[in-house]
Amino acid sequence: MKLSNISVIKDLLGRHGFTFSKALGQNFLINPTVCPRMAEEGGAAPGVGVIEIGAGIGVLTAELAQRAEKVLCIEIDSRLLPILDETLGEYNNIKIINEDVLKVDLPALIAQEFPGMEVVVCANLPYYITSPILMDLLEQRLPIRSITVMVQKEAAQRICAPLGSREVGAVTVAVRYFSEPKVLFQVSRGSFLPAPDVDSTVIRLDVHQEPPVSVPDETLFFQVVRGAFSQRRKTVSNSLSSALSLPKAAVNQILEAAGVPLTARPEQLSMEEFAALSTAVGNWKKAANRE
Ligand code: SAM
């Protein structure tokens, strides 16, 4: 079945009485070149297990199944299950789970479904939860090699921005702590049914074996990163003071100890400077508790 052909899709959806849910980010791919390219560049290959988030009618799932050892697909919308039965019935290496990806036990699923296999994630993400999904996949330190995802163009620019550039945000630093992000290719809004109001970009995050910096307290590191970006146009010093409820004098001492200029803005900091800042905050807190 040609799952990227508009008349095939309309006939299929019509027969099943399916209507798109905007709330679930349902924009299905109709550009036939995108899914094969995503599957290839996402590393779907013999011996590899693939996790897909959001199957839709299975257009990417089928391309993944043709290349990979096994595909585990997590789809929240139960109305799509009978459709997927019809579109993917010919494949015996696909398992579909009707769950919310943010609620499933991914470490357990990976151990159960992909024993001894290299695992990658490949998905056209529902855009309303792009950052929560990416952070959830990364923070759990899943045994995965890479995450290849289609996201909104602006989200891709932010995620893949080089540190030191204007587009950097808290998500840029967090993603780079866990992985090396790379832009793969652009996808226009006309490649979807229904067409969204935004263009898209496919990116790949190659997951680090070890983070690029070592920090004594990861939770504090991410608090500092989020705090530093909490007021976009302000200096790190001002933002950290209000986000971490620390007196201004203490924050200045912390910045000095970390070797960060008092006038620095968060988008100017390197990964090493964020690490030094979080170490200095931890040291300051320890010293303050001892007083
Ligand atoms: N892969 C298909 C394609 O490329 O045409 C569909 C992509 S569509 C942008 C996003 C899909 O994610 C939809 O099928 C939607 O139902 C599903 N979805 C939305 N929220 C989800 C969640 N929390 N967990 C799992 N799937 C979700």
**Which tens digit of pLDDT belongs to each residue from 209-228?**
999 999 999 999 999 999 99
Percentage of the chain lying above the pLDDT 90 cut: 96
**Which tens digit of pLDDT belongs to each residue from 241-291?**
999 999 999 999 999 999 999 999 999 999 999 999 999 999 999 988 866
Rounded distance between C-alpha atoms, residue 109 and residue 121, angstroms: 13
**Coil, strand or helix: which one is 71?**
strand
Residues 108 and 233 in one domain: no
Q: What is the CATH number of the domain that holds 269?
A: 1.10.8.100
State residue 289's pLDDT score: 81
What does DSSP assign to residue 262?
Answer: T
Torsion angle (degrees, nearest 10) of CA 195, 196, 197, 201: -110
Residue type, 242: S
Which residue is closest in CA terms to ligand 1's atom 17?
A: 54
Cβ–ligand 1 distance for 193 under 6 Å, the answer no
State residue 251's pLDDT score: 95
Atom nearest to 21 CA in ligand 1: 16
Cβ–ligand 1 distance for 24 under 6 Å, the answer yes
Rounded distance between C-alpha atoms, residue 160 and residue 229, angstroms: 17
The answer, yes or no, to whether residue 160 has pLDDT greater than 70, is yes
CB atoms within 10 A of CB 18: 17
In a domain, 1, yes or no: no
Q: Where a domain ends, among 184, 207, 230?
A: 207
Rounded distance between C-alpha atoms, residue 65 and residue 75, angstroms: 16
CA 264 to ligand 1 center in whole angstroms? 40
Atom nearest to 192 CA in ligand 1: 5
The total domain count for the chain is 2
Residues 127 and 70 in one domain: yes
State residue 288's pLDDT score: 84
State residue 1's pLDDT score: 80
Cβ–ligand 1 distance for 71 under 6 Å, the answer no
For residue 134, what is the enclosing H or E element?
A: helix 130-139
Torsion angle (degrees, nearest 10) of CA 198, 202, 208, 209: 130
The answer, yes or no, to whether residue 233 has pLDDT greater than 90, is no
Ligand 1, from 77, 128, 152: best to mutate by most atoms within 8 Å of Cβ? 77
Rounded distance between C-alpha atoms, residue 261 and residue 265, angstroms: 9
Domain of 235, in residue numbers: 218-290
Rounded distance between C-alpha atoms, residue 59 and residue 174, angstroms: 31
